[in-house]
Amino acid sequence: MPRPPSRSARVLLALLLCGARLAAAQDPWVRVAAQAIPSYTFVNHVPGGGNLGEARIVQPVLMAHAGALADHLRFVGTLDLEGWTMPDGELTPGAWGEGFIDRRHPHTYFHELMLSGVAPVGGADGALRIGVSLGKGFAPFGSDDPMSRPALRYPVNHHFSQILERAVLIGAAAAGPVTLEAGIFDGDEPEYPGQWPLIRGRFGDSWSLRLTLRPLPWLELEGSRARVHSPEHRPGAGTDNWKWHASGRAEGPLLGGVAYAMVEWARTSEQDGFFVFHSVLSESAWSRGAHRPYVRYERTERPEEQRLADPFRAPRPHLENSIIGMTRWNILTAGYGYRLGARPARLQIQPFGEASCAIVGSVGGGIFDPASFYGRTRLWSLSLGIRLGWDIEGHRMGRYGVAAPPMNNEAMSMRMNHE
């Protein structure tokens, strides 16, 4: 069960509720979306050797986007119930973060709670728009949350390419195709789904910058830089992460359907560069009628940590001496989904199948030997499931205020008709 929120969390919630009540009296709009994916995943070799299959309900989320005051005030909220449906994580070879290894951790219950103010400079149609966002959510860094991308399987680079579930203050400006965001936040990662950011003593100890360029309607280019203080040690005694990220994203009509493609590069260093982790990833999808094939390739280095009695868990708080090596994961993932029902439609029912082949090897020495730990260095996984969604298309996580795509009723209706 979720733990009661701290005093700082209650203050944060009160501020957001006050903003929402103010907005409710001024020409508001609201869009609500929901998603859940019942799925079964089988992996041929897991930590300690042997095969394992598990059924889970993953990514059960309820999202709300709202605006008022001629869209100058905006709200984003995402409730994530993975702490109830997958408290022990989702079987995902290569995944790591927040004390889970080879399982994707459940996200916090309040995944996003962000209130944004947006204003044009130089009149209602000013060429420059500025904004401020405050709440709990994503720092302005990196690419979209994998939850809003084609594959079920989360990439190994999730914590290299996104900084999530922080108390964050963001200032942003947009002029034409250029958007610049700067944020300060707390560096600590959550240790369980009901935990809130440690605002007292930690808020503002980390920062990030993100520059986004949209030279064409279908093309988005992004570059980010961040310093995250002691992410795995909540009291703040751990080492810092210095992070770079760059990506290109394209989405638009192609061959009678809608195509999506994204490539990204990430680099994270810690302990003053003693450990450096690299990642490159490319993914694409194409939707035409009911059909949606997709593919992703990833090459990512990850830290290997001391394990607990449960081989899928690592100790928290994390200290630098718990890194016992580094591995490199090359993963090819391919999947196919078939949408049931008419299109466009707000209700989405999409059975799918997805397979991955991962090749893992050690990098730069250390005492961790993947061949001994897993029993082999080539790992296969297969997932079967059904994507269930309501009004889910077009939602992107991690961008707020002037950096967010249009989400009001008119914009979303135009998008659905186009698709």
Choose among 358, 298, 58, 295: nearest CA to 161: 298
Reported CATH class of domain 7-418: mainly beta
Average of per-residue pLDDT across 142-150: 95
Residue 416 is predicted with a pLDDT of 44
Strand locations in 138-240, DSSP E? Answer: 166-175, 178-185, 206-216, 219-228
Choose among 91, 117, 114, 94: nearest CA to 103: 91
pLDDT at 147 over 50: yes
Question: Are 392 and 60 contacting, i.e. CB atoms less than 8 angstroms apart?
Answer: no
Percentage with pLDDT > 70 across the chain: 88
Reported as a single tens digit per residue, the pLDDT across 185-227 is: 999 999 999 999 998 889 999 999 999 999 999 999 999 999 9
**Burial annotation 89-115 (CB, 10 A radius, 16+ → b, else e):** bbbbbbbbbbbbbbbbbbbbbbbbbbb
Q: Omega before 317 cis (within 30°)? A: yes
Count CB neighbours of 265 within 10 A.
Answer: 18
pLDDT at 319 over 70: no
Beta bridge partners of 75: 66, 115
Reported as a single tens digit per residue, the pLDDT across 73-124 is: 999 999 999 999 999 999 999 999 999 999 999 999 999 999 999 998 876 5
Residue 419 is predicted with a pLDDT of 46
Reported as a single tens digit per residue, the pLDDT across 336-379 is: 999 997 766 788 999 999 999 999 999 887 788 888 889 899 99
Reported as a single tens digit per residue, the pLDDT across 373-411 is: 898 999 999 999 999 999 887 778 899 999 998 765 554
Percentage with pLDDT > 90 across the chain: 67
Reported as a single tens digit per residue, the pLDDT across 230-263 is: 998 888 888 899 999 999 999 999 999 999 999 9
Q: What is the mean pLDDT of the chain?
A: 89
Residue 124 is predicted with a pLDDT of 59
Residue 306 is predicted with a pLDDT of 86
What are the extents of the domains in the chain? 7-418
Choose among 48, 35, 145: nearest CA to 93: 48
**Residues 313, 317, 318, 321: is their CA dihedral positive or negative?**
negative
Residue 411 is predicted with a pLDDT of 47
Cα–Cα dist 418/401, whole Å: 24
Question: Are 399 and 405 contacting, i.e. CB atoms less than 8 angstroms apart?
Answer: yes
Cα–Cα dist 79/74, whole Å: 17
Write the secondary structure of 56-106 as one string of H (helix), E (strand) and C (coil).
EEEEEEEEEEEEECCCCEEEEEEEECHHHHCCCCEEEEEEEECCEEEEECC
Residue 118 is predicted with a pLDDT of 92
